[in-house]
Amino acid sequence: MSKKKHPEHVNHERWLVSYADFITLLFAFFVVLFASSQSDKKKQLKLSEAMQTAFTPLGTFDAHSKTPPLTDINASAITNSISSPIVRPLPSATTESLEETEARLRKLIAEQVAAGGIPPGGIAMRITPDGLVISLHEAGFFPSGSAEVRPASIPMISILANTLPSGPLRVEGHTDNVPIHTAQFASNWELSTARSTAIARLLREHGPIDPANLAAAGYAEFHPVASNATEDGRTQNRRVDIILLRHPAASQ
């Protein structure tokens, strides 16, 4: 007697193999798309940086951003950026030369002299290797032997505080070689330092000067600009110099 054959078992889950293959291929496809998109972003970033490097000196892009934000970039946007007119920055006090600053300040000083705010010869200017030196002579700004600024000269200091270009300033106090010894000042060192500090404080109070760009020092009688053998020379030496430096104060 022959054995009874059992019907073959049909596997109803064979479709899972094909489904798994399909999911694997789909995953690989999206990996390729993601890798391609990352490559495109790098190219766009390089393009953006190259454009900014080329146009920053001409004022097209803001100088505060070393790497421009990467947004959706298309061909029309790039074309519009290149074809748009380039706007050059207007000249300002921060871009003028020392000679231009000196000429501009001379006009303002002449107006103050004409108005009686300071006496003729109360301010002198010269350009040195350090920068533009604005000398405030004692006769126009301080009583003899005092570090109290004359009230009548404060408007001139306010004008300087508001018209000097932004940048490092050094305020230096100087005296003649006549010794001083009072209850307030034991020597010319103290007097010259107190005067420079007083001018620096007024510059800070009357204008938008960054305190980090401001320094004050006293040199007593040891940096004369004229001979102390004559009264006229001693008058020139009693001064406070405001120096618009060519380089940051930290490098001095």
**What value, to the nearest 5°, has the Cα angle with vertex 75 and ends 73 and 76?**
100
pLDDT given at position 29? 78
**Residues 98, 131: contact at Cβ < 8 Å?**
yes
Q: Rounded to a whole number, what is the largest CA-CA distance in the chain?
A: 149
Q: Where are the alpha helices (DSSP H) in 4-73?
A: 15-55
Could you tell me which of 126, 138, 132 has the C-alpha nearest to residue 199?
A: 138
How far apart are the C-alpha atoms of 76 and 62, rounded to whole Å? 21
Instruction: Give the chain's residues under pLDDT 70.
Output: 1-15, 36-95, 247-252
pLDDT in tens, 122-149: 999 999 999 999 999 999 999 999 999 9
Kindly report the pTM of this predicted structure.
0.61
Which top CATH class is 98-251?
A: alpha beta
What is the pLDDT, as a whole number, of residue 73? 41
Token pair 């204008």 is at which residue? 207
Termini Cα distance of the chain: 117
pLDDT of residue 10: 58
For the chain, the structural domain boundaries read 15-83, 98-251
How confident is the model over 164-194, as pLDDT tens digits? 988 999 999 999 999 999 999 999 999 999 9
What integer pLDDT is reported at residue 31 of this predicted model?
75
Helices H / strands E in the chain, number of each: 7, 5
